[in-house]
Amino acid sequence: MELQEWQKLSEEQKYRYSEELATHLPQSVIFKGLRFYSDGGPELSIAIFEYGGSLFSLMPGAEVQIGYEADNFRPTDEQIELFQDTAEEYGFVLDIYSYVQSVTTPSRKVAIAPMLVEIQPTKIGLEAINSEELKIQNLLQDFPDSPSVNCGDRYGFDRGKDGSVAAWQIISKTQEDIATELAAEGLRLLTFDEWEYACGARSTTLFRWGDFSPSDFYPTNNLGDWKLHLQPNLFGLNIAQNPYDCEIISDKHTVRGGDCGFSICGGMGSFLGWLPLATAYWQPDVLEWLDEEWLDQGISGNFMRRVIPLP
């Protein structure tokens, strides 16, 4: 189903099409109905499916232009001023347009097949453990009033309103581990281009919601009334919401959806703090900023978004 064809269907036709599609998928994939998403603009109804307790949206295919042309960027005066301040401090020689072009993928036309895409990415290697373990008990004693504690993204706990404790740890997994596990279920990861299409949902602006980014807080602060980055996009996906939460894709040792927190952690200003959420943002050397343990031992602690291919 191509995107333009999908958009022309009535809601009844979309529903019938999705019901019919479900009959050609494994019985464990269940059609749940249609939901409407706007991402700050016109609404689009998307078919939602469930697999193994997780929700997937039907992402229509398209022959689409992805990447970014910085000549089309329309920054605000505040964005320009913030970038110039950062450029002076860090010795950048590029202007804001050239810099944006240097950290976004080139404009290109690609053909994307329709597929079911997981709405909420899942953290890799997350495993439930007994809250009676000594390391968890120590955390509970050190943080008796905290609803949630994360110890170096290695282990931690979440405390429910009823006082119950859900403890977890991160176990090491490699790219090969993930690919093998997914293939055994008939699933896979998004490719480099598929991720970009899934994120932007055909938006041609810097961010999926437009060119604007707040000037007085980072996307991790969740301050004020600005919440567009936290809302599902036009395909119903929760994607590119936190620069720290990078997503792995099928390309080995490549991540999308952030810079692993480098810009924010480095105090590089709000414009560069928001820029990693741009749809086409990508720096090939982003993983060089991470320690060797990440590269040598696995990709645990990052996120993955599963795909159910269509017949």
For residue 297, what pLDDT is reported?
Answer: 46
DSSP characters for 154-169? TEEEEE-TTS-EEEEE
Indicate whether 159 pLDDT > 60: yes
pLDDT level of residue 286 (50, 70, 90 thresholds): low
Q: DSSP assignment of 16-74, as one string?
A: HHHHHHHHTS-TTEEEEEEEEE-TTSS-EEEEEEEETTEEEEEE-BEEEEES--GGG--
- The tokens for 75 are 């920054």
The yes-or-no verdict on residue 213 having pLDDT over 60 is yes
Residues 125, 174: Cα–Cα separation, whole Å: 10
pLDDT value of position 302:
84
Residue 104 has pLDDT above 90, yes or no: yes
Q: Please give the average per-residue pLDDT across 233-260, as a whole number.
A: 91
Q: So what's the pLDDT on residue 41?
A: 67
The per-residue pLDDT for 80 is 96
**Mean pLDDT score, 250-261:** 87
Structure confidence at residue 40 as a pLDDT band (50, 70, 90): low
Write down the pLDDT at residue 149: 86
